């Protein structure tokens, strides 16, 4: 059986490496749950023992792109996953679907597994333009409704389940679909057991070790 994917999106936290290491203490994958930690870029090479993902990347392999990180750099650093198209990137950095599409193609080419975040069905079509069915086998999709991100108001199970089914009918059942938006230890299990998601993308609660360990135990 496929493991439940539990992705921790630390966003721009914490401020020090010592804190980052502290958060990680006691957090482990087990037979049922695969934990992927997505810290800020700076901490990626410094966190040992965790399966790692990046929160973003550029689409070119190398070159004159000040301030950017390439898929190859991530791959060579042992990073396996990359979150792409997060709503905060779409909102604060004006990432458009064409950009996300380029990033997805570059990530797949480099052998990274993209975790594509969407909040509307219409985004999927444009984000995935030109990506073959075969390549889609390496994708993970995270359904993250805007109103639920960081608000404490998670999406209703009914609506989330509807979206999950719709996405899987469109993309194929081989693509794991995660739910993200105000997940905590109290509601995490419902999205797996009752709404049928294959995993979760957790923001705020992933910075609280006790809460995050509780999520691992309960799902």
Site residues (vs ligand PGA, CB under 6 A): 9, 144, 149-150, 180-183, 201-205
Give the three-state DSSP class for 49.
coil
Q: Which helix (H) or strand (E) holds 116?
A: strand 113-118
Please identify, using beta-carbon distances, which residue of 74 and 205 lies nearer to ligand PGA.
205
Q: Measured at the alpha carbon of residue 188, what is the angle toward residues 186 and 184, in degrees to the nearest 5?
A: 55
Pairing of strands 140-143, 199-202: unpaired
Q: Least distance in Å: CB of 38 to ligand PGA?
A: 9
Q: Are 175 and 206 in contact (CB under 8 A)?
A: no
Point out the catalytic residue in the list 88, 95, 97, 144: 144
Q: How far apart are CA 134 and CA 203, in angstroms?
A: 30
Choice between 50 and 155, CB closer to ligand PGA: 155
The answer to whether the beta carbons of residues 191 and 162 sit under 8 Å apart is no
End-to-end CA distance of the chain: 15
Cβ distance to ligand PGA smaller for residue 9 or 101 = 9
Find the shortest distance in angstroms from Cβ 61 to ligand PGA: 27
Looking at the Cβ atoms of 70 and 163, the one nearer to ligand PGA is: 163
- Smallest gap from Cβ 145 to ligand PGA, in A, equals 10
124: left (phi over 0), alpha (psi -120 to 50) or beta: alpha
> Which of the residues 34, 68, 86, 211 is marked catalytic?
86
**Distance of closest approach, residue 142 Cβ to ligand PGA, in angstroms:** 7
Examine the residue annotation and report whether 144 is marked as an active-site residue of this protein.
yes
Task: Specify the 3-state DSSP secondary structure of 181.
Answer: coil
Residues annotated as part of the active site: 86, 144
């Amino acid at each position: 059986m496929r493991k439940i994917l539990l992705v921790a999106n630390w966003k721009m936290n914490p401020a020090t490496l010592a804190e980052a290491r502290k958060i990680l203490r006691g957090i482990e994958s087990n037979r049922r749950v695969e934990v992927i930690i997505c810290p800020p870029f700076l901490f990626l090479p410094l966190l040992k023992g965790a399966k790692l993902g990046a929160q973003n990347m550029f689409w070119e392999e190398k070159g004159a792109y000040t301030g950017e990180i390439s898929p190859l750099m991530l791959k060579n650093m042992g990073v396996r996953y990359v979150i792409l198209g997060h709503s905060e990137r779409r909102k604060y950095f004006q990432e458009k679907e064409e950009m996300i599409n380029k990033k997805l193609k570059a990530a797949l080419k480099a052998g990274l597994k993209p975790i594509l975040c969407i909040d509307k069905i219409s985004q999927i079509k444009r984000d995935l333009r030109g990506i073959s069915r075969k390549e889609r086998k390496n994708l993970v999709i995270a359904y993250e409704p805007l109103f639920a991100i960081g608000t404490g108001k998670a999406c209703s199970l009914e609506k989330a389940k509807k979206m999950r089914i719709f996405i899987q009918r469109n993309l194929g059942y081989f693509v794991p679909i995660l739910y993200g938006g105000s997940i905590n230890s109290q509601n995490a299990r419902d999205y797996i057991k009752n709404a049928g998601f294959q995993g979760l993308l957790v923001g705020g609660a992933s910075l609280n070790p006790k809460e995050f360990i509780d999520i691992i135990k309960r799902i």
